[in-house]
Homo-oligomer: A and B are copies of this chain.
Amino acid sequence: MSKTPALVAVDWGTSSFRLWLMSADGTVLAEHRSHEGMSEVAERGFEPVLETHLAALSAADHLPVVICGMAGSRQGWVEAGYIDTPADVTTIGETATIVPGTARRIIIIPGLAVRSEAEPDVMRGEETQLLGAHLEMPGGERYCMPGTHSKWVSMDGATVTAFETFMTGELFSVISGKTILRHSTGDGSVDANDPAFLTGVRDGWNQPAKTTHHLFSIRAGQLLHDHQASDNRARLSGLLIGAEFAGAGISGDEQVGLVASGALQRLYHAALTECGVKVRGIEADVAVRRGLLESWQRFSNTNGDRQDQ
């Protein structure tokens, strides 16, 4: 009972490329992953990279491609604009941007923007995950989407009413790699059950104003008490995630939808649980595929393309 390919779904970020060959009902028929993110691809050109992957999958010429992520940014393939909040995520496919001059139909999903003058914000890629998360587990009011630039999103039904980005992942990377803490935090992954991680989460959450002091204190703890690199690294991660929770204003009795996968999923699940938050989890890949499929169907219905072939 083999299924027919109907769509190519692509999540094209700054540093990663993920492509799925899908049937009309959302079944994954094949998958490609690579590090050919936007920053690497910009010189080689987006279309050749995409077509190489499609050829490797023997994807038919008429198969449409729907893309979300930084490929739609100004520095990407074709700028796909932003929809301002409040925004109904079920409609993001309707205003997708058609990549001009290509043989097959290729569309790019727009991002979302908070166009406030004092605290503007943007997302690109997460809006598609949000759509998928909303469809897979309806009724969520707050979503946490951890990453290089973590997003906290408030929803009312299908409408994104507000969101805030925190630079948690990128700060972890530069602080552990490029500051004096590089001598204290080592390499390797952080264990979500490490007490140093969970203590860091609580300290960051309870005393966010002390964060940049707590960071230096990691260095002092190594000098004075010989604290070990793996604990220091775990504490650094915990402090930054805890400060993110304080900024997002979590309260101990709320429920949060966690859209994540792998190591980040484990860390944020443990951290949220430590703070008393109830977590409903959805795998980030599942969410983004569902969002891409739904967006394609919306686009087709709105623009008169055939929904599947």
A: residues with CB less than 8 A from B are 74, 82, 113-115, 117, 119-122, 149, 164-168, 170-171, 174-175, 178-180, 208-217, 219-221, 223-225, 240, 243-244, 246-247, 249
Determine if A165 and B247 form an interchain contact, defined as CB atoms under 8 angstroms apart. no
Roughly how many angstroms separate A170 CA and B119 CA in the complex, as a whole number?
A: 24
With both beta carbons as reference points, the residue of chain B lying nearest to A244 in the complex is identified as: B212
Contacts A179-B170, A243-B212, A246-B209; is A225 near B165 (CB within 8 Å)? no
Determine if A220 and B165 form an interchain contact, defined as CB atoms under 8 angstroms apart. yes
Contacts A179-B171, A212-B244; is A119 near B217 (CB within 8 Å)? yes
- Cβ distance A299 to chain B, nearest Cβ, rounded Å: 24
Determine if A220 and B114 form an interchain contact, defined as CB atoms under 8 angstroms apart. yes
Roughly how many angstroms separate A219 CA and B111 CA in the complex, as a whole number?
A: 15
Copies in the complex: 2
With both beta carbons as reference points, the residue of chain B lying nearest to A179 in the complex is identified as: B170
- Cβ distance A225 to chain B, nearest Cβ, rounded Å: 6
With a CB–CB cut-off of 8 A, which chain B residues contact A174? 174-175, 178-179
The SS class assigned to the A binding surface is helix
Determine if A224 and B113 form an interchain contact, defined as CB atoms under 8 angstroms apart. yes
CB contact between A224 and one of B122, B175, B209, B244 (< 8 Å): that residue:
B122
Roughly how many angstroms separate A208 CA and B213 CA in the complex, as a whole number?
A: 12
Roughly how many angstroms separate A302 CA and B223 CA in the complex, as a whole number?
A: 29
Roughly how many angstroms separate A220 CA and B122 CA in the complex, as a whole number?
A: 6
10 examples of A-B residue contacts, CB within 8 angstroms: A120-B223, A164-B210, A167-B216, A171-B179, A174-B174, A208-B211, A209-B246, A209-B247, A210-B247, A212-B244
Determine if A167 and B215 form an interchain contact, defined as CB atoms under 8 angstroms apart. yes
CB contact between A166 and one of B115, B165, B213, B246 (< 8 Å): that residue:
B213
With a CB–CB cut-off of 8 A, which chain B residues contact A211? 208, 211, 243, 247
With both beta carbons as reference points, the residue of chain B lying nearest to A165 in the complex is identified as: B216
Roughly how many angstroms separate A169 CA and B152 CA in the complex, as a whole number?
A: 28
CB contact between A223 and one of B122, B167, B209, B217 (< 8 Å): that residue:
B122
Roughly how many angstroms separate A217 CA and B243 CA in the complex, as a whole number?
A: 16
Determine if A164 and B213 form an interchain contact, defined as CB atoms under 8 angstroms apart. yes
Roughly how many angstroms separate A163 CA and B100 CA in the complex, as a whole number?
A: 61
With a CB–CB cut-off of 8 A, which chain B residues contact A210? 164, 247
Roughly how many angstroms separate A164 CA and B213 CA in the complex, as a whole number?
A: 7
With a CB–CB cut-off of 8 A, which chain B residues contact A113? 220, 224
- Cβ distance A183 to chain B, nearest Cβ, rounded Å: 9
With a CB–CB cut-off of 8 A, which chain B residues contact A164? 210, 213
Not counting A120-B224, A165-B216, A170-B179, a sample of 5 additional A-B residue pairs whose C-beta atoms are within 8 angstroms of each other reads: A120-B217, A164-B213, A211-B211, A212-B243, A212-B247
With both beta carbons as reference points, the residue of chain B lying nearest to A240 in the complex is identified as: B212
